[in-house]
Amino acid sequence: MSKSTRLDSKENESKLLPIYRHKEELILAVKDSTFLAVTGETGSGKTTQLPKYLHQAGFCKDGKIGITQPRRVAAITVAQRVAQEMQCTLGREVGYQVRFDDCTSQSTVVKYMTDGCLLREILADPVLSQYSVVILDEVHERSLNTDILLGLLKKMFSDSAKAIKGRSFPLKVVVMSATLEADKLSAFLSDCPVFTIPGRTFPVTSTFGFAVGPKDIESAGYLKEVLSFSFESGRELKRACDLLYEKRPTVEGLLILPLYGSMPTDQQRQIFQPPPSGIRKCVVATNIAATSLTINGIKYIIDSGFVKQLNHNSRVGMDILEVVPISKSESEQRAGRAGRTSAGKCFRIYTKEFWEKSMPEYTVPEIQRTSLTAVILTLKCLGVHDVIRFPYLDCPEERFILEALKQLYQFDAIDRRGRVTQLGKLMVEFPLHPGLTRAVLKAASLGCHDLLLPLAAMLSVENIFIRPGHPEKQKEADTIHRALAAKTGSMNDFATLLSVFQLCKSSDRPSAWCKDHWIHWRALKSAFSVETQLREILLRLQQVQDFPVDTFDGDKSELFRRCLCTGYFTNVARRSVGKVFCTMDGHGSMVHLHPSSSLFDQEGKLNWIIFHDVLVTSRMYVRTACPIRYEWVKDLLPKLHEVDVYELSSVAREEVTDEEMIQWETREAAKRQPEVSTEDVI
């Protein structure tokens, strides 16, 4: 088939989508109102077609059309598709931008991006003066950043917001969602019109299984027609695919394709291609396939009933990765993916009882279950002082906001009045967790950012260590990984990551080096690119801002760990008995070192540690850790107990006067908790 015929067929294909018949009406609806809600079944063509229609209707005359996606893979694959349909090179008229990957140019007028990217753009340009249309897509997914964008856009047009009037041409806002949330959205956005695209779906019959649990994927016997959604990480998902490959002798003509958030672009494209004749396509996917991406021709779904989710646990005061049951609405959504092109079947490998008793009706929006620290700092930097009364579509619990404020105060990103500090203004520029940013900035002030930038990059990419499925190979990989850790001369998972980065980078053949050391080359390649970008941000800040400068005498390992302490002192734990550690953040949670840590089985030699994250399975595990000395955090730890969150809340509500502030500080000083005892210094 020649290239042009192929393009024509894509164009014709798009005319068959349900949205096509409503093209003119939709264009008019966008012209007629500031806010418009568009709803329709997934697969009706909203994401790929509406931006194209608006482009054709001349909306790009003054500014760009920006479309946000909660997931990076969706932003990338959809941009590729639309570039093809509009017959242009990706990155020219149609482009995408996701964190650490910008594929746009001067000529880009239709820009797909993650919601996080648009949020960053608002920081630099609060009225989005380059855009004529902003489309918030997949709003029903209720991602944290999309929810914040909704509030910001609503605020932008509120009566008191004069800034928007200063724009030279109007801004149109379209919010798109699957059917559920449309009325709520309309009510939130001053009762804006709702445009419904009638769907075209086929019936799906669902059956329940006999047992509950993620393991059942293996034993369920439905491997012939699998489309499972329970894996959040690429690694687990690839293991599931390996498992399927092993079963292949009994499953003739099966093309097994993984689909997950951080997968490489060339592999993503394969997902949408029809399989060769006589071959069945089997997509093993994370929940990205539930709404963000529509794959044509899926007839059977296997629904595990679970999802891996990052939840903020206020009992232990940390974000924790957990495997939790999905909601009933999510299970309906998953099943619905089988009925796009013909009648389908959904195999739920959990019992009806589990469905009734353990699954909530709806998924809790991210804003009500994850840490708000980074988002609250962004809001503060945008001049939203009262973060409690910000227009949230669904309010997060007040204690989550307070916890975020407290953490920002602890990191010195805001002062006692809840105002952003100089440091906070620097911190918001980095697309990293504020704690990690704080460590990077500390290192930069001491002139040793070459230690922290690569580490921050390594912590921002997916897992770098390959875990082969075969037990023999697994042993080999473990030995090599342990040797890499030993090379650093200390038990320090952070230093191991830094060392892998440096060794690979200085190697003559980095990809071969990775292969020899059971390291994911692709992850390392991303880490190199992320490091460069973080370095650029730092250089830019050092040039224009009043950058702090510090000095330190001591060895490199101490310097490295001390820098880490400035960002991770909220994640300090002290060994209590045996192999159990107790966190020092006031929650006193009991944690264990994860077996993947190079400190594992060395617990007896340790007293104080800091750690990067927490994983909960049968126990609470901390991963990526290193030993520290109590003196390094001694001056920081009292800060964990210094502020009373309820006091901070009254500060958060409104600007307080100096007088009130003095009164408050006096009260605070009287209440201040005694310092942590200095026994047990290593």
Residues within the interface to ligand CDP (CB under 6 A): 17, 40, 42-49, 77-78, 80-81, 272, 294-296
Residue 78: contacted member of ligand CDP, Mg ion, none (CB under 5 to 8 Å, by partner type): ligand CDP
Q: Which range touches Mg ion (CB under 5 A), out of 41-49, 435-443, 529-537, 670-678?
A: 41-49
The pair of three-digit structure tokens given for residue 124, joined into one six-digit string? 């630099």
Binding piece for Mg ion, criterion CB under 5 A, among 13-21, 39-47, 251-259, 356-364: 39-47
Piece of 42-50, 89-97, 444-452, 604-612 that binds Mg ion (CB under 5 A): 42-50
Question: Please, are residues 86 and 79 in contact by the beta-carbon 8 Å criterion?
Answer: no
634: amino acid identity, one letter: K
Q: Which one of ligand CDP, Mg ion, none is in contact with 206 (Cβ closer than 5 to 8 A by kind)?
A: none
Q: Which is nearer to Mg ion, 47 or 268 (CB)?
A: 47
Closest CB to ligand CDP among residues 126, 199: 199
For Mg ion, give the closer residue by CB, 233 or 294.
294
Q: Which residue is nearest to Mg ion (CB)?
A: 47
Q: Is 48 in the site for Mg ion (CB under 5 A)?
A: no
Does the protein bind Mg ion through residue 47 (CB under 5 A)? Answer: yes
Question: Nearest distance from residue 74's CB to ligand CDP, in Å?
Answer: 8
CB of 333 to ligand CDP, least distance (A): 11
211/206 Cα distance (integer angstroms): 16
Residues near 511 by beta carbon (within 8 Å), at least 6 away in sequence: 521
Q: What is the Cα–Cα distance from 155 to 178, expressed in whole angstroms?
A: 24
Could you report how far apart the first and last alpha carbons of the chain are, in Å? 71
Task: Say which residue the tokens 């790009």 belong to.
Answer: 60
Instruction: Select the binding partner of residue 77 from Mg ion, ligand CDP, none (C-beta < 5 to 8 A, by kind).
Output: ligand CDP
| CB neighbour list of residue 192: distance below 8 Å, 6 or more residues apart | 33, 34, 35, 36, 37, 185, 186
Residue number with CB closer to ligand CDP (80 or 143): 80
Work out what residue 281 binds among Mg ion, ligand CDP, none; the CB cut-off runs from 5 to 8 Å by kind. none
- From Mg ion, ligand CDP, none, interface partner of 459 (C-beta below 5 to 8 A by class): none
**329 sits in which H/E element:** helix 328-336
Cβ of residue 348: shortest distance to Mg ion, in angstroms? 24
Residue 75 Cβ vs ligand CDP, minimum distance, rounded to whole Å = 11
Residues sharing a CB contact under 8 Å with residue 453, sequence separation 6 or more, in sequence order: 440, 443, 531, 534, 535, 538
CA angle at residue 292 from 319 to 48, to 5 degrees? 140
Q: How far apart are CA 637 and CA 565, in angstroms?
A: 10
Smallest distance from Mg ion to CB 265, Å:
19
* Inter-CA distances, 663 with 45, 466, 533, 660, Å: 59, 57, 45, 5
**Residue among 40 and 339 whose Cβ is closer to ligand CDP:** 40
- Which H or E run contains 612? strand 608-616
- Choose among Mg ion, ligand CDP, none what residue 45 binds, the Cβ cut-off being 5 to 8 Å by kind: ligand CDP
Q: How far is the CB of 313 from ligand CDP (least distance, A)?
A: 33
**Which partner, ligand CDP, Mg ion, none, binds residue 373 by CB below 5 to 8 Å per kind?**
none
Nearer to ligand CDP, 268 or 445 (CB): 268
Helix pair angle (115-124, 373-381), 10° resolution: 30
Binding partner selected for residue 146 from ligand CDP, Mg ion, none, CB under the kind-specific 5 to 8 Å limit:
none
Residue 325 contact among Mg ion, ligand CDP, none, beta carbon within 5 to 8 Å by kind: none
Q: What is the closest distance, in whole angstroms, from the C-beta atom of residue 48 to ligand CDP in the complex? A: 3
Among Mg ion, ligand CDP, none, partner that 331 touches (CB below 5 to 8 angstroms by kind): none
Q: Which is nearer to ligand CDP, 86 or 440 (CB)?
A: 86
| Residue number, 78 or 244, with CB nearest to ligand CDP | 78
Q: CB of residue 487 vs Mg ion: minimum separation in angstroms?
A: 47
Please state, in angstroms and rounded to a whole number, the distance separating the CA atoms of residues 322 and 560: 30
Partner interacting with residue 296 (select from Mg ion, ligand CDP, none; CB below 5-8 Å by kind) = ligand CDP
Q: Compute the distance between CA of residue 98 and CA of residue 102 in angstroms, rounded to an integer.
A: 6
Nearer to ligand CDP, 49 or 304 (CB): 49
Going from the C-alpha of 651 to that of each of 11, 657, 659, the distances in angstroms are 56, 10, 13
CB of 268 to Mg ion, least distance (A): 15
Least distance between Mg ion and beta carbon 417 (Å): 42
What are phi and psi for residue 636, nearest 5 degrees?
Answer: -90, -35
Q: In Å, how far are 30, 33, 138, 241, 620 from 37, measured between CA atoms?
A: 9, 10, 11, 38, 42
Q: How far is the CB of 32 from ligand CDP (least distance, A)?
A: 22
Whole-angstrom distance, CA of residue 358 vs CA of residue 326: 9
Size of the site for Mg ion (CB under 5 A): 2
Q: Nearer Cβ to ligand CDP, position 340 or 592?
A: 340
Interface with Mg ion includes 230 (CB under 5 A)? no
- Name which of 264 and 469 has its Cβ closer to ligand CDP: 264
Under the phi-then-psi rule, with left for phi > 0, alpha for psi from -120 to 50, and beta for the rest, what region is 214?
Answer: alpha
3-class SS at 322? Answer: strand
Window of 45-53, 113-121, 343-351, 501-509 that interacts with Mg ion by CB under 5 A: 45-53
| Gap between the Cα atoms of 46 and 387, Å rounded | 32
| Total residues belonging to the chain | 682
Look at residue 238 and give the partner it binds from Mg ion, ligand CDP, none, a contact being a CB closer than 5 to 8 Å depending on partner kind. none
Q: How far is the CB of 340 from Mg ion (least distance, A)?
A: 13
Rounded least distance, CB 56 to ligand CDP, Å:
16
Give the separation between CA 670 and CA 305, rounded to whole angstroms.
52
Binding status of residue 460 toward Mg ion by CB under 5 A: no
Which of Mg ion, ligand CDP, none does residue 566 bind (CB under 5 to 8 Å by kind)? Answer: none
User: What residue ranges in 547-588 does DSSP mark as E strands?
Assistant: 572-575, 581-583
39 touches Mg ion by CB under 5 A: no
- Give the whole-angstrom CA distance, residue 328 versus residue 265: 32
Query: Whose CA is closest to 407, among 377, 366, 369?
Result: 377
Q: How far is the CB of 46 from Mg ion (least distance, A)?
A: 5
* Secondary structure class of 415 (helix, strand, coil): coil
Q: Nearer Cβ to ligand CDP, position 272 or 600?
A: 272
Close Cβ partners of 344 (under 8 Å, ≥ 6 residues apart):
202, 203, 204, 205, 298, 299, 300, 301, 338
CA distance 448 to 442: 9
- Positions that interact with Mg ion (CB under 5 A): 46-47
